[in-house]
Amino acid sequence: MTAIYDMKTTRNLQEAMRMIYFDKDKGRGIWATYLHLLEESIELGRAISSGSKSEIASEAADVAAWLASICNLLDIDLEDALRSKYGCGCPKCRSTPCRC
Ligand SMILES: [Zn+2]
């Protein structure tokens, strides 16, 4: 069955990754899942070097997806974490834009 996932919010993204991958993520475990995030981060760097915006977008999506998987495994609400840390601008100087 094909599902269309709404990715308008970080919470939507995390829930979609839970529905699609949670069982696989749980079987793989946190450290192997973390290694996938690192691998995708390296691929994002390669995509940036390539200069291809579509490749960069694809790899950025992979990084976000693996990060959401890690948060699902650790029962962390990524949207809450982002809001808590960056909801008032830069977490160090509390300014937007950052003045650090
Ligand atoms: Zn700052």
The predicted-structure confidence for 41-52, as pLDDT tens digits, reads as follows 999 999 999 999
What's the gap in Å between 40 CA and the centre of ligand 1?
27
What's the gap in Å between 87 CA and the centre of ligand 1?
13
Sketch the domain layout of the chain as residue ranges. Answer: 10-86
Q: Which residues does 3 contact at the CB level (< 8 Å), separation at least 6?
A: 19
Q: Is the pTM of this model over 0.85?
A: yes
Residue 91: is the preceding peptide bond cis (ω within 30°)? Answer: no
- Please determine, looking at this structure, whether the domain spanning 10-86 carries the CATH number 1.10.10.60: no
φ/ψ bin of 99: left (φ > 0), alpha (ψ from -120 to 50), beta (otherwise): alpha
Exposure letters 19-46 (e unless 16+ CB within 10 A, then b): eebeeebeebeeeebbebbeebeebbee
What's the gap in Å between 97 CA and the centre of ligand 1?
7
What's the gap in Å between 15 CA and the centre of ligand 1?
31
Around ion ligand 1, residues with a beta carbon closer than 5 Å are 90, 92-93, 98, 100
Q: pLDDT for 34-78, tens place per residue?
A: 999 999 999 999 999 999 999 999 999 999 999 999 999 999 999
